[in-house]
Structure 1
Amino acid sequence: MRIVEEERLDLSEFIRPGDTVVWGQACAEPLTLTEALVRQRAKMSRIRGLIGANFSSTFSAEHADHIDFVGTGAVGTVRQLAKAGVVDIIPFHITACDRAIENGWLQCDVVLVQVSPPDDEGRYSIGLTSDWIRTAVKHARVVVAEVNAQVPQTTCTEPLTEADIDIRVDTDRPLLEVKSVVPGETDHAIARHALEFIPDRAVVQVGIGSVPDALVPMLKDHKGLGIHSGMIGDSLVDLIESGAVTNEFKEIDKGVTITGALLGTRKLYDFCDRNPRIRLAPVSHTHDIAMVSSLSNFISLNSAVEVDLSGQINAEAAGKSYLGAVGGQLDYGRAALRSPGGRSIIALPSATADGKSRIVAALSGPVTTPRSDADLVITEYGVAELRAKSFGERIKALIAIAHPSHREQLEREAFVAGAVHAR
């Protein structure tokens, strides 16, 4: 391992033209390294950059002059790159990215990773995001690690050691943060409906956003909850400290909250620092269907852009605008359907901010979750239970939870399409 001062870092020493560069995503972005990549990009042109969820302002459309961006979705600030047409989306399930790197289908030449300072045993915690970064480190030609003094020493499945790191750059700078969204009246109404399907001793998977932030405080009176989730935010800190989360009834990982990413603020990061009750795990553990479905009463809560009247779910795009990602929705949905007592919840407002219905006769974008995997769809107007329901039953249930101003039009569209018959 070679230690390089930040001021002397020249990434062109390690990155060759044509290389694919992978960096820690979401709040784990190694800002010193990615900022250097942007600054020095002309020296190594052209390179390929694999970008996942992103919450920084590091990358912009102008950087496509030397970097070919390829992404796993359009989450966070990646949406602006997608809107500008400079990021090529791979429609990956989140677990597929890990396998693609492992099998060499997805090239991975140089990894830029942010880690904590080493512990007493010389282990560098990956800190804020696990996902597929550990697999990328194993397969990269060069690993450049930003050792940031402010990264928490979180418990992780496989920390890095000196043997994994080629270049070490020491920094001490604030971490990226994702602040909680203040839930509105609609969010609370949706959360109240979802609450009915979460029993004591359930194992819960929730993302971040206004509906999860409305729901999580409602769970404080539950008993024996477990957490197994691709990501957690600040709201989970209060829920765990309330005593509602014990993880004691999980068939695997008893006593431990499992997550793949910390998307929050210093409150969350400090809570997870040296906390053995929280473990960051790779997607091969957080999203594996066989593993997750072994958990009893696994409740998956995810969102969507729109749902059609047959139960098809689009969580990726609105028309030509790519907004989300394939992500882990289908992995978790299928795991919930196989879990004893499990339920898969898709929660979304009945209408967009400009009044368009999100319950639609036909999707405007791709099918992220097929209708054969649909279970519960929830809006502020109620719950549509779709599991084992016919097309006719689904249509009635979904129109009933659509915004009232759109129900008549949805009935007409369903009739014209031949989905229902005049009686």
Structure 2
Amino acid sequence: MIQPEELDHYIRPGDHIVWSQGTAEPLTLTESFVQQRSAFTGSTVFVGITHSTTLGPAHTDHLSFSSYCGLAQNRRLVDADVLNIIPAHCSQLPAFFSSGVIACDVVFLHISRPGPNGKPSLGIGHDYLLAAAQRARVVIAEMNDQMPWTYGSSDLDGVQIDAVVHSSRELLEVAPGTITDTERRIARYATEFIGDGAVLEMGIGGIPDAILASLGDRRDLGIHSGMIGDSAVGLIEAGSVTNALKSVDAGVTVAGVLLGSQRLYDFARQNRGIQVRPANYTHNHKVLASIDGFTAINSAIEVDLTGQVNAECIAGRYVGAVGGQVDFVRGALAAKNGCSMIALPSTAKQGATSRIVPTLGGPVTTLRTDADVFVTEWGAAQLKGQSLNERVRRMIAIAHPAHREALTQQARHLRQ
């Protein structure tokens, strides 16, 4: 056991540091590291999605930052132009760390106290941490007595923990998404593609929360997702999610990260019906393709008239991610009775800007060859197997009425 102020016994200037992402961030370690950063000049921190304000632009006086995403609190670093983005599929990240493609000298883990098997677990966040820890020179763990012990995340084989800091502090929480009439209308169209027994993948936020809230009359749904929030608990408690018909992991909800409130964390604590698994399982193509009825629900910044998706950039600013979208889209397309949905509001900026566009203003995250179903508050467009001309027609039909004429004119120009 060590004290947080003793990090300089283990970390060297110029090291590459990785820690648990999202709500699993080990705050005692990360806050102490930032406070002591002058001792680690030249070090680089790799972060995933971030829900704390531990890191800020001012900390680049001694540190540099990299990530696969510009989501949540990472936006502050993006806006200050101090976050280096590494575009990556979530399925790639464990191999990037284990092979050294992304350097990793020191890993901060956030672990629970030992559970039923006598071992600690990674609690609410698994992802790519074990792959990084197996490669690192030093592994430092924060053992927090408020971190729930979870199934699927207690296999720390191959990881040598060099030092442990004990703590007792509340975990970070993520508030439920805001659900407006727009999200409810999107959910009404999206749920038409979700039948009894479907196995769901979704993110967090207003749209996925609205969709899940609309599935109370479904039976024997399953969940296999990169992340889940509190809305998943509601469906499980209501009996709509049983996982009983899953062709893989029957009876079990599978996720890589739990992003919610204490309600979710308490529900997951020593719950055999929930497993927190690594990204090379949750996002593995062979696993996803073998799940009958796998239904991927993702979103976008903008989509074009032929089905290309930009989930990364707005006006040159990296505010999203490649993340798990392509992993899940392709898994759904390969699965028996699978379905991939991209659900988004039809406009931005109080209706002034259409999010269905003739040509993308940012990178192509998901190819049009992987297009399946697109949903807005105006309807749903099934693009799989359709010609380019028919795709254009169907996408214009789900755009906001105020933008359809302009899109029609622009589409004619594109076809000339």
Whole-Å Cα distance in 1 between the matches of residues 414 and 292 of structure 2? 40
What does 1:393-408 align with in structure 2 at a 5 Å threshold?
A: 393-408=390-405
Structure 1 stretches of 5 or more lacking a match?
Answer: none
1:199 paired residue among 177, 192, 195: 195
The AA in structure 2 aligned to 1:388 is: G
Residue number in structure 2 paired with 1:413: 410
8 Å CA contact 1:304, 1:348 repeated in 2? yes
- In angstroms, what is the RMSD of aligned CA positions? 1.3
Whole-Å Cα distance in 2 between the matches of residues 83 and 285 of structure 1? 33
8 Å CA contact 2:70, 2:321 repeated in 1? yes
- The reply on whether 1:93 has 2:93 as its aligned counterpart is no
Structure 2 stretches of 5 or more lacking a match?
Answer: none
Whole-Å Cα distance in 1 between the matches of residues 2 and 115 of structure 2? 20
8 Å CA contact 1:233, 1:264 repeated in 2? yes
Q: Secondary structure at the match of 1:219?
A: coil
Whole-Å Cα distance in 1 between the matches of residues 158 and 337 of structure 2? 44
Whole-Å Cα distance in 2 between the matches of residues 59 and 244 of structure 1? 39
1:118 paired residue among 114, 120, 137: 114
The AA in structure 1 aligned to 2:370 is: D
Residue number in structure 1 paired with 2:293: 297
8 Å CA contact 1:147, 1:168 repeated in 2? yes
8 Å CA contact 1:134, 1:158 repeated in 2? no
1:209 paired residue among 205, 208, 215: 205
Whole-Å Cα distance in 2 between the matches of residues 289 and 246 of structure 1? 23
1:240 paired residue among 223, 236, 241: 236
Whole-Å Cα distance in 1 between the matches of residues 330 and 348 of structure 2? 27
Whole-Å Cα distance in 2 between the matches of residues 348 and 262 of structure 1? 23
Q: Structure 1: which 4+ aligned runs deviate by more than 6 Å? A: none
Whole-Å Cα distance in 1 between the matches of residues 17 and 107 of structure 2? 6
1:162 to 1:361, Cα distance in 2 relative to 1, 3 A: closer
2:161 paired residue among 160, 165, 170: 165
Whole-Å Cα distance in 2 between the matches of residues 110 and 102 of structure 1? 13
Deviation readout 1:79-118 (Å, 9 max, x if unpaired): 1101111011001011111111111211111001111112
2:222 paired residue among 219, 226, 231: 226
Q: 100-109 vs 232-241, which deviates more? A: 100-109
8 Å CA contact 1:54, 1:77 repeated in 2? yes
CA deviation after TM superposition for structure 1 residue 206, in Å: 1.1
Residue number in structure 2 paired with 1:45: 41
Residue number in structure 1 paired with 2:31: 35
Residue number in structure 2 paired with 1:71: 67
The AA in structure 2 aligned to 1:28 is: A
Whole-Å Cα distance in 2 between the matches of residues 163 and 336 of structure 1? 33
Residue number in structure 2 paired with 1:371: 368
Deviation readout 1:320-363 (Å, 9 max, x if unpaired): 12111000101100111111111100000000133210000111
8 Å CA contact 2:107, 2:136 repeated in 1? yes
8 Å CA contact 1:95, 1:288 repeated in 2? yes
CA deviation after TM superposition for structure 1 residue 159, in Å: 3.2
8 Å CA contact 1:123, 1:161 repeated in 2? no
CA deviation after TM superposition for structure 1 residue 160, in Å: 3.1
Tell me how many residue pairs correspond in the alignment. Answer: 415
Percent identity over the alignment? 45
CA deviation after TM superposition for structure 1 residue 71, in Å: 0.7
Residue number in structure 2 paired with 1:343: 339
The AA in structure 1 aligned to 2:121 is: S
- The reply on whether 1:152 has 2:157 as its aligned counterpart is no
- The reply on whether 1:332 has 2:318 as its aligned counterpart is no
TM-score, with normalisation over the residues of structure 1?
0.96
What does 1:376-395 align with in structure 2 at a 5 Å threshold?
A: 376-395=373-392
- The reply on whether 1:14 has 2:17 as its aligned counterpart is no
1:162 to 1:305, Cα distance in 2 relative to 1, 3 A: closer
Whole-Å Cα distance in 2 between the matches of residues 117 and 338 of structure 1? 39
Whole-Å Cα distance in 1 between the matches of residues 245 and 359 of structure 2? 41
CA deviation after TM superposition for structure 1 residue 417, in Å: 1.9
